[in-house]
Amino acid sequence: MTSPQILTVRGLVDSFSEFKEFKNIDRATLMRVLEEVFRNMLKKRYGDDSNFDIIINTDQGDLEIYRNRLIVDDGEVEDENLQISISDARKIEPDYEIGEEAIDQVPMDFFGRRNILAARQTLMTKVLELEKDELFRKYSDRIGEIVTGEVYQIWKKEIMVLDDEGNELILPKNEMIPADFYKKGEALKAIVHEVSMINGSPKIILSRTSPVFLEKLMELEVPEILDGLITIKKIVREPGERAKIAVESYDDRIDPVGACVGMKGSRIHGIVRELRNENIDVINFTTNISLFIQRALNPAKISSITLDETNRKANVFLSPDQVSLAIGKGGFNIRLASRLVGYDIEVYREDAGADDSDIDLDEFADEIDSWIIDELKSIGLDTAKSVLEVSNDDLVNRTELEEETVIEIKKILQAEFE
């Protein structure tokens, strides 16, 4: 009849084998941890474990422990853990002789049920620690890679995402695109942004706002990038609004911009949808800074540029109708262009025959709120006539102003010229 203690041990090994199956702990690690638990029990029981052999069969759920002892003459045993008398040795094997090493199996009932249960608890604790270490290592190696998971829990400041193995990943609110909206159970795509160990548990942070996320999406959609035929030199983003990508090809036969955009925008459209309709400008990289700035400020047409290379500043001159295009809605275009080229870009309106009758917007500070004036200046409109030349719809689209506000402002400005 099998003893309850042996059943307990076998159940313990069985449970650990099941844990291994679901959590992907490798066999060598499984055996090492299980052996370590039982060696600690042996040390506690006998004081020394160096003369014990532990054999584990994790597939069968078997565990056997054997003790090796030197055979001495009867009455000469000084250490019962390391030595055995010839009489007791021959009870194991009748043909044993003095000076040989006797091997006998350690019965599990030596440990007692309480020790076995304690070992099980220790074992599971070590397994959980191993899982945390393995998860930390796995995702540390995946920083900058795209992962797809399922939205599991939604909180005010973050979303919990489960990967395909059920591991918990976190997407904070500040790493989400402003237009992101998810429901529980939906699929979510992001990059592994940061991995840290907090209070012994790994914390895996995802991001959808990082430029690396856009870079990896480009690699998925554009085989030439993955193959190294096209190189992404730099990416800058205002998540959910606009992005600029500088690309270069070392093969003159390949048009890097055309390859990235695809036929009729086929390659870039999928990325734009993933990024919640973020406008993506793909630009040919060049070491010619003036030309690079011109490309970066697209769609605006630049008249001339003066560079201050020492202070990394660029003064850009445009015709009045191009200024608002260069700056872009909310100033995104010029800010991103500055970050892309690494120069502080200042936009200036060319004098189209000096018009002394025009009035600076600051002159209207008594009639127009300062925040409205700042909003108009942010799109390159700093005089009364420059505002009056832009249509109401364009002003509404390029600023945060309501149509009623735009109409009222124009009435105030127009009155100065009547």
* pLDDT above 90 for 125: no
* pLDDT above 50 for 143: yes
DSSP tag of 251:
S
Query: What average pLDDT does the structure give for the chain?
Result: 86
Cα torsion 106, 109, 110, 116: sign: positive
Nearest alpha-carbon partner for 177 in 155, 209, 154, 202:
209
pLDDT at 65: 87
Average pLDDT over residues 158-172: 95
How far apart (Å, rounded) are the C-alpha atoms in residues 228 and 268? 18
How far apart (Å, rounded) are the C-alpha atoms in residues 344 and 37? 63
DSSP tag of 364:
G
Nearest alpha-carbon partner for 213 in 158, 284, 148:
148
Full strand arrangement of the beta sheet holding 304-308: 304-308, 313-318, 344-349
How far apart (Å, rounded) are the C-alpha atoms in residues 387 and 403? 14
Q: What are phi and psi of 195, to 5 degrees?
A: -130, 125
Cα torsion 39, 40, 43, 48: sign: positive
3-class DSSP state of 381: coil
Query: In percent, how much of the chain has pLDDT > 70?
Result: 90
Average pLDDT over residues 116-126: 77
Do residues 410 and 392 touch, judged by C-beta distance below 8 A? yes
* pLDDT above 90 for 34: no
Cα torsion 145, 146, 151, 154: sign: positive
Query: Which residues make Cβ contacts (< 8 Å) with residue 238, sequence separation at least 6?
Result: 332, 335, 336
Nearest alpha-carbon partner for 324 in 278, 382, 261:
382
Per-residue confidence at 211, pLDDT binned at 50, 70, 90? very high
pLDDT digits (tens, 9 = 90+) for 59-112: 665 678 899 999 999 989 988 889 999 999 999 999 999 999 999 888 776 677
How far apart (Å, rounded) are the C-alpha atoms in residues 364 and 243? 35
The more confidently predicted of residues 166 and 32 is: 166
Token pair for 44: 């506690």
Determine if residue 306 is left, alpha or beta; phi over 0 gives left, psi from -120 to 50 gives alpha, anything else beta: beta
pLDDT at 59: 62
Set out the domains of the chain in order of their start, with CATH numbers.
4-137 (3.30.1480), 151-207 (2.40.50.140), 361-415 (1.10.150)
* pLDDT above 90 for 208: yes
DSSP tag of 208:
S
Nearest alpha-carbon partner for 169 in 200, 137, 135:
135
Do residues 147 and 188 touch, judged by C-beta distance below 8 A? no
Do residues 63 and 54 touch, judged by C-beta distance below 8 A? yes
pLDDT at 60: 60
Q: Which contiguous run of DSSP H or E holds residue 236?
A: strand 230-238
Instruction: Tell me the residue ranges of DSSP E strands in 30-180.
Output: 52-57, 62-72, 83-85, 101-105, 146-154, 158-162, 168-172
